[in-house]
Structure 1
Amino acid sequence: MSVASSVISIVQEELAKHSATRLLLVRVRFGALANLVPEAMEFAFEAMTVGTDFEGAKLELAMAPVKLLCGGCGKEFEPQGKELLFAPCPACGEEAGHHVLAGRELYVEHIEAE
């Protein structure tokens, strides 16, 4: 609920800046490591917009992949499958010591309004 509330606050601020009143669509980009449950976010957004000017607005969620930097050889790579935390480097096979370059982000990427 707190993430949905924050998204709504951000959208309200942006709409006020541009003298828009009706929200049509908001796209939120989140990393695979951001601990966001899409179904819960959709439910919270819908529940919090019922009876408001944002009722009926579409929420799009776009997941950003995890990108790691190998701690051994320095190669950037995207782990595949569900094993995001145990991801051997495809170049050298190093299994630990990687740095997360992307995959933790959570931000409003796009807003459409009238």
Structure 2
Amino acid sequence: MHEMSIAAAVVEQVDTAAREHGAPAVARVRLRVGELAGVVPEALDFCFELACTGTLVEGAALDTEPVAARARCAPCGVEWAVGMPPDLACPDCRRGSGVELLSGRELQILDVQWAGPSGAPAEQKG
């Protein structure tokens, strides 16, 4: 399950950042996840909770922002939603070459919200 390796990497990065900033804990982590990143949101939620155990991220909420897959045909300039399963043939000229994937593969930490000493949300880092 590659969601566990993703969750572990996110938790490691956020835990390290929290320690470097002297944060007592993390309240929330926001991720941007592309439609083509191959991530099952429910599996990522489950793995994130497991990966947080024993870290400053334990108990933090995980929010994921989905990003739709979009492509553009270089020869004719048409943009379209790729969908699932991905259709990378231009819907206008039906060419498959010269197609640029504009979005949908994202997997990034958008921001982190530290928890204050009481556990309440405090500062937000982007």
TM-score normalised to structure 1 length:
0.82
CA 51–82 in structure 1, closer or farther in 2 if over 3 Å, else same: same
Kept after mapping to 1: 8 A contact 2:15/2:57: no
1:8: Cα distance to partner? Answer: 0.5
1:6-54 CA distances to partner (integer Å, 9 max, x unpaired)? 0001101221232112110001111111111111111111112234432
1:112: Cα distance to partner? Answer: 0.5
Gaps of 5+ in 2: 116-126
| Letter paired with 2:17 | E
Residues 1-114 of structure 1 mapped to structure 2, 5 A cutoff: 1-79=4-82, 81-83=83-85, 85-90=86-91, 92-97=92-97, 98-114=99-115
Aligned CA-pair RMSD: 1.9
Kept after mapping to 2: 8 A contact 1:33/1:103: yes
Kept after mapping to 2: 8 A contact 1:29/1:64: yes
CA 52–9 in structure 1, closer or farther in 2 if over 3 Å, else same: closer
Structure with the larger RCO, 1 or 2 (CA within 8 Å, 6+ apart) = 1
Identity %: 34
Structure with higher strand content:
2
Kept after mapping to 1: 8 A contact 2:14/2:57: no
1:74: Cα distance to partner? Answer: 2.3
Gaps of 5+ in 1: none
| Letter paired with 2:94 | E
